Structure 1
Amino acid sequence: MGLLGNDLAFAQALSAQEREGVMALGSRKHFPPDAHLLTEGDRSSHVLILIEGWVTVSVSTDRGATRLILGLRGPGELLGEMAALDPHPRSATVRALGPIEAQVISGDAFRRFLALHPRVSGLVIRQLTFRLRSADQERSALASLTVLQRLAGRLNELSAAEAAGPYAPAAAGRPSGPAPAGSVVHLAQDELAATIGATREAVAKALRLLRGQRIVRTGNRMVEILDPALLALLADGHHE
């Protein structure tokens, strides 16, 4: 399971000249918290490069109002590239977790830039491949792992990232292994549920089990990891 994207965000993988060129294609725009930067099914073709803030990438599920969060994206990440490269509707919704600043670039301008810069085009292809594989892994986990396993894995992933710095930029690299004790995930229970494709009730039940074993402590929009080693074992399917 993995929500946090590639080891190196798109903008950070560019040379200074490439970055200057691609940013000059568009204009900077601010989005408020909870705004939909991109909407699943929409036929727009522009792309976004995040400058400040974090967003969720989600898709609708068979349960209608329920959404599955496939990714968390932060500064430097490229969003919306699939709709810029083919005529199909957007495949996911991108929602702001807080105030967002992003560079908005038209699909036509972005395609022309890629045609003139093969190395940048290769970076986009690499990103698409990575994200498609990550989405497949998320769907596989949804089908094969229990809610407790998925929640333990997600808490381990997100707490390790926060311990490296509050959702540290991708350029810092992705942490591996259990997070240190005392690290905290700042998400509400319904948001955690969406990251693993479960109901809020199922996540609340799993958190009660984790609290009962003193693996986590919970508060308002907060889960503190008390025993990261045991949390990692639960994520791997080991039960007491």
Structure 2
Amino acid sequence: MSLFGQDRSFLDALPPADRTALLAEGRPRAYEPGEVLIRERDTSAHVLALLSGWCVVSVETERGARLILALRGAGEVVGDLAAVDQRPRSATVTALGRVEAVAVSGDRFRRFLAARPHATALILRQLSTRLRSADVERRSLASETVLRRLAARLVELAQRAGRRADAGTVLELPLPQHDLAAAIGATREAVAKALRLLREQDVVRTANRRVIVIDMPVLLLLARGRERPPAGPGPGSGAGPGGPAEKSPPGV
């Protein structure tokens, strides 16, 4: 499962001349933290090419809960599905921080794609990636524990949006606990319990809207569904008969 798009964004994958041509078709827009860029079920069809900042893509469930589907950042486009199929918006896109973008009308975006088969192929690949990710996500929700799903999300956030520091890897995206819960299809209470287990085992440290990953190897093991590190101490660890016990991640 993945909150992020492909390693190379749509704008970065375009030839420079095509990227310039696309951005010239639109007009600049700026959004403040928490502002809605695109709203689910809306009938607008414009596309937003993101130049800076991060957005949260989410849907509302039948019970009124919020489920986060993805995070989108600079170089990516949002709203392309409605522009292509001309149907109502399938999700809401909200600015996580300040976001700068270029808004391109649906008609102009479709003409841009029609004139550039390479760009059309990139959009098809992007849609395919999102579909495959959705399939993996459904399997995860049906078969994995909250702790494992949370560990996988934290690993992904650390790898894609983390900053190395003396204390560990700082997750730069300001996701509060209710957003972490919405990103793994769990309740806030369940995520709070899982985070407490991770803190007690010195795997992560949390502060206001900030998570620091202290022990990445253990977090990776949890994300893979392993209950404890592989047997066998490393060189110089001092573990073994009479030595210090190897740390195990919290139970699932």
* 1:63 Cα deviation after fit: 2.6
1:181 CA drift (Å):
6.9
- TM-score (normalizing by structure 2): 0.85
Q: CA deviation digits over 1:33-88, x for unaligned, max 9?
A: 11111111111111010011100111122331x11111111101011111011132
- Residue matched to 1:73: 72
Matched, 1:96 2:95: yes
For the pair 1:215 / 2:194, whether they are aligned, the reply is no
**Which residue number in structure 2 is paired with residue 199 of structure 1?**
187
Unpaired stretches in structure 1, ≥5 consecutive residues = 166-179
In the alignment, does 2:230 pair up with 1:231? no
Q: How far apart are the structure 1 equivalents of 2:78 and 2:163?
A: 24
Per-residue deviation at 1:195?
Answer: 1.0
1: distance between equivalents of 2:43 and 2:142? Answer: 30
**Kindly, what percent of the aligned residue pairs are identical?**
55
Structure 1, residues 161-199: CA drift from partner, whole Å, max 9, x if none?
Answer: 23368xxxxxxxxxxxxxx97002242111111111111
Displacement of 1:211? 1.2
Number of residue equivalences: 226
Supply the distance in 1 between the matched residues of 2:40 and 2:180 (Cα, whole angstroms). 21
Which of the two has higher C-alpha Rg? 2
Contact kept in structure 2, 1:55 and 1:72, CA below 8 Å:
yes
Q: CA RMSD in A?
A: 1.7
Partner Cα separation in structure 1 for residue 3 and residue 128 of structure 2: 14
Q: TM-score, normalised by structure 1?
A: 0.90
1:6-155 map, 5 Å = 6-64=6-64, 66-155=65-154
Q: Distance in 1 between matches of 2:126 and 2:148?
A: 27
After the TM superposition, list the runs of 4 or more consecutive aligned residues in structure 1 that deviate by more than 2 angstroms: 162-165
Report the Cα distance in structure 1 between the residues aligned to 2:113 and 2:41, rounded to whole angstroms: 24
User: Higher RCO, 1 or 2 (CA under 8 Å, sep at least 6)?
Assistant: 1
Unaligned runs of 5+ in 2: 229-252
CA distance in 1, matches of 2:72, 2:85: 22
1:183 aligns with 2:182: no
